[in-house]
A and B are shown apart, each in its own frame.
Chain A
Amino acid sequence: MDEVLLRAVVPTVIGVLVRRGAPFAAAEDAVQDALVEAVRTWSAHPPRDPQGWLVTVAWRRYLDAVRAEDSRRRREERVEAEPAPAPAGHRDDTLQLYFLCAHPSLTPASAVALTLRAVGGLSTRQIARAYLVPEATMAQRISRAKRTVAGVRFDQPGDVRTVLRVLYLVFNEGYSGDVDLAAEAIRLARQLAARVDDPEAAGLLALMLLHHARRAARTRPDRVLVPLAEQDRGRWDTAQIAEGVGILQAALARDRLGEYQAQAAIAALHADARTVEETDWVQVVEWYDELVRLTDSPVARLNRAVALGEADGPRAGLAALAQLDPALPRHAAVAAHLHERDGDLATAARLYAEAARAASTVPERDHLTRQAARLHAALRA
């Protein structure tokens, strides 16, 4: 059984322990212990029923922990406070775990960390490495998050929107180390979309797949960013695009539009164009109009200005941009792009350099610096 399949049953196993009376935090710890044990022993002795094995071992670990805690607390008057093992049943508590781990009382960072551990089944060390923080810091973040949700009733319905936001945050973190957070986010979104009747869950999954499909083309081996317009579209993952488009179409057919479906629709229009010239910019603009209507997000307005620049010419894009707050992230980069398309290379070069100074990641900064350098060289020639 590979690691991903093993991790997929983690929320179910935690659910069984919680139904038997274990508090969530202790149940989650016990399941992590059982996972370590599984990795250690399964290659030599694979169990016939992996989930049953994990339940048995995790429950035993939980009881050991309870006993240890008991004997610490009252060494003399020791009570055999063993919670009665109730039958596991066939209930799937995975969805409840998504809700709990994205509970509104948690900060985004805590919700992300707890989701990756209790729903994703990742170890604290893996999560710490993915977020480039010390393991001790991540361990504290997770145990604080557990304390925060300790009083939350496990069987209460939650808000799918908060879960979607957490998964989107995980996806956007990208990939830097040995844990591919984008791939993990897709796995978790897929698992969620199979369990909730919400077109936005499908929309988010489609959005992730459509972006992920371009991943190989998005960066050169030396990590240099390749903008959408310059990507080798032959390197896009057509199977993933087809899957994303299929999921999106089914979601849109249900006529309950939301921001993730709208963003996925935009990604699908890009995926649909064999060359950048074939992009249906008019439709892209229409979807950005929907997105602005749905979210009233300044970032959506900024991206709409880019699309408008393609559909109606750079002047139209610049006019739309003039309505927006120059302090918006990526405002200068968008302005630079539109000014270059409008033929004003000097202004574009100055804005690219300004955008590079405001960039929040190293690849983005380097990309924008290179754009400024390219225009400065063109101006000299």
Chain B
Amino acid sequence: MAKYLLLKHYRGAPAPVNDVPMDRWTPDEIDAHMRYMRDFAARLEASGEYVDGQALAPEGTFVRYDGEGRPPVTDGPFPETKDLIAGWMVIDVDSYDRAVELAGELSAAPGAGGAPIHEWLELRPVLAEQRTATE
């Protein structure tokens, strides 16, 4: 078993096929999209492959250490930042091929006109934390 992170981008991924911003969809199309995402997560739970999933707000803050006794410095958001993560899902699957298959399904979520968005999702292997029993 291996865990994979599916990353959905607000910005930074190649343009999807059905490239209409969500605020231009009809309310019913938005509902259909949300339903698809919920159903997808529920299906993964039922197949025993779901680990976690969260959506992220588009606006964030950069924070860094500023020396002993000083409060951290904050900055941003930077509108020019190339990569902007919209959310993630972690899955636990038998193979890389299965992870690709699931990412493909998720990318088929309906958008404008009820047609699949064909959105590019980024698939990243999660590094295992545990100590191995062999060397």
The chain A residues found within 8 Å of chain B, CB to CB, are 107-110, 112-113, 131-134, 136-142, 144, 171-177, 181-182, 185, 208, 211-212, 214-215, 218-219, 223, 225, 227-228, 359-365
Residues on B with beta carbons closer than 8 Å to the beta carbon of A174: 130-133
The binding surface of chain A is classed by DSSP as helix
Residues on B with beta carbons closer than 8 Å to the beta carbon of A132: 3, 51, 129-130
Q: Mark B42-68, 1 if CB is under 8 A from A, else 0.
A: 000111111110000000000000000
In the complex, what distance in Å separates the CA atom of A303 from the CA atom of B21?
52
Q: How far is the CB of B130 from chain A (nearest CB, A)?
A: 3
In the complex, what distance in Å separates the CA atom of A218 from the CA atom of B125?
25
Report the interface size class on chain B: 20 to 34
Q: Mark B110-135, 1 if CB is under 8 A from A, else 0.
A: 00000000000000010111111111
Q: How far is the CB of A147 from chain B (nearest CB, A)?
A: 11
Residues on B with beta carbons closer than 8 Å to the beta carbon of A225: 135
The chain B residues found within 8 Å of chain A, CB to CB, are 1-3, 45-52, 92-94, 125, 127-135
25 A-B pairs whose Cβ atoms sit less than 8 Å apart in the complex:
A107-B94, A108-B1, A109-B48, A110-B48, A113-B48, A132-B51, A132-B129, A134-B51, A137-B45, A137-B49, A137-B92, A138-B48, A141-B48, A141-B49, A144-B46, A171-B133, A172-B132, A174-B130, A174-B131, A181-B133, A208-B133, A211-B134, A214-B135, A360-B125, A363-B132
Contact of B50 among A110, A134, A182, A215 (CB under 8 A): A134
Q: Assess the A227–B47 pair: CB atoms within 8 A.
A: no
Q: Assess the A108–B45 pair: CB atoms within 8 A.
A: no
Q: Assess the B45–A136 pair: CB atoms within 8 A.
A: yes
Residues on B with beta carbons closer than 8 Å to the beta carbon of A223: 131
Q: Assess the B133–A362 pair: CB atoms within 8 A.
A: no
In the complex, what distance in Å separates the CA atom of A175 from the CA atom of B129?
10
Given A174-B132, A360-B127, 20 extra CB contacts under 8 A: A132-B51, A132-B129, A137-B92, A138-B48, A144-B46, A144-B47, A174-B130, A174-B133, A175-B130, A175-B133, A177-B130, A181-B133, A211-B133, A211-B135, A225-B135, A360-B125, A361-B132, A363-B132, A364-B132, A365-B127
